[in-house]
Amino acid sequence: MIVVTGATGNVGRPLVEILAARGEDVTAVSRGEAELPPGVAHRTADFTRPETLDAAFAGADRLFLLTLDHSLDIAAILKAADAAGIGRIVFLSSERAVTRPSAETQAFENAVTASGIEWTLLRPGGFASNAIPWAAETIRTRREMIMPFGDVGLPLIDPRDIAEVAATVLTEDGHTGRAYLLTGPALVTPRQQAEAIGAALGEPVAFTEQTREAAFEQLLQYWPAEIVEGSLDVIGAPNRAELHVSPEVERLLGRPATSFAEWAKRNAAAFR
């Protein structure tokens, strides 16, 4: 059985759907209720309460582990996984673990790789889906996208591509001890994102440059301050490694990574 944590998020939700469609025995874990495909079991658990994890992990042999909160006791989470008999962990980390390493990201990755459980690390770059919390409301109400750093491009990745990679790594052999850098197929700027969303909607979307300070305050609604600060550093002044377009999605999935324009077409309803 595969346990998917963060099962209601941008990666966890499509991962559950993909695994279920493939006929895998999958259990979705989240802190609250979740709408899930037929046949998918659901368990509630909270990483801040490690005592809830024994029941959440019971019977599993593989685990998709996702957490953005570096204040958590990762050792307790891994101890619960080991006690449940989980033999493989796929850990969703971040490209910043290698492009801008910090004590927090390295501590989490090191804990996973030293756990004694087979592991694979996924290190995605920026998510295409970040356009929704950032700009969906202003696009819906006045066809305007407001973001900082309008002409700085990054190889944004479709979260569903991450989910497909995770499903592959969870269900196929040959990935133990590997770390995969995952990106989209090309650099895309915020200004180009507005153009792509406009094309998906069939209406022009204006672009307005936002200050870094305003962006920071806006994103605090969704992520911890350290995540927001790090994200703004990357999108405002990416280093060479963060501009690199990785071939790993295509190599692992046997198809090109999804472009931002394709992601926008599939998610146009979020901006209507």
For the chain, the structural domain boundaries read 1-124, 125-157+183-271
Q: Which helix (H) or strand (E) covers residue 260, if one does?
A: helix 260-266
Tell which residue, 82, 29, 45, has the closest CA to residue 16.
29
Residue whose token pair is 């927001």: 228
The answer to whether 91 and 121 have CB atoms below 8 angstroms apart is: yes
Query: SS3 for 154?
Result: strand
Q: CA quadruple 138, 139, 142, 148: dihedral positive or negative?
A: positive
Q: What is the 8-class DSSP label of residue 127?
A: B
Residue whose token pair is 């920071």: 216
pLDDT at 224: 84
DSSP per position, 28-57: EEESS-----TT-EEEE--TT-GGGHHHHH
What is the number of alpha carbons within 13 Å of residue 2 lying toward its C-beta?
A: 26
pLDDT at 134: 87
Amino acid at site 107 = A
pLDDT at 223: 81
Residue whose token pair is 């756990």: 115
Say if 1-124 and 125-157+183-271 have the same CATH topology.
yes
Domain 125-157+183-271 has CATH 3.40.50.720: yes
pLDDT at 183: 98
Q: Which fold has domain 1-124?
A: Rossmann fold (3.40.50)
Q: Token pair of 17, please?
A: 């759907």
Per-residue pLDDT of the chain (272 residues; tens, 9 = 90+): 999 999 999 999 999 999 999 999 999 999 888 889 988 999 999 999 999 999 999 999 999 999 878 788 999 999 999 999 999 999 999 999 999 998 888 999 999 999 999 999 999 999 999 999 989 999 999 999 999 999 999 999 999 999 999 999 999 999 999 999 999 999 999 999 999 999 999 999 999 999 999 999 988 988 888 888 888 999 999 999 999 999 999 999 999 999 999 999 999 999 99
pLDDT at 104: 86
Q: What is the pTM of this model?
A: 0.94
pLDDT at 222: 83
Alpha carbons 191 and 189: distance in angstroms, whole number: 5
State how far Cα 246 lies from the chain centre.
16
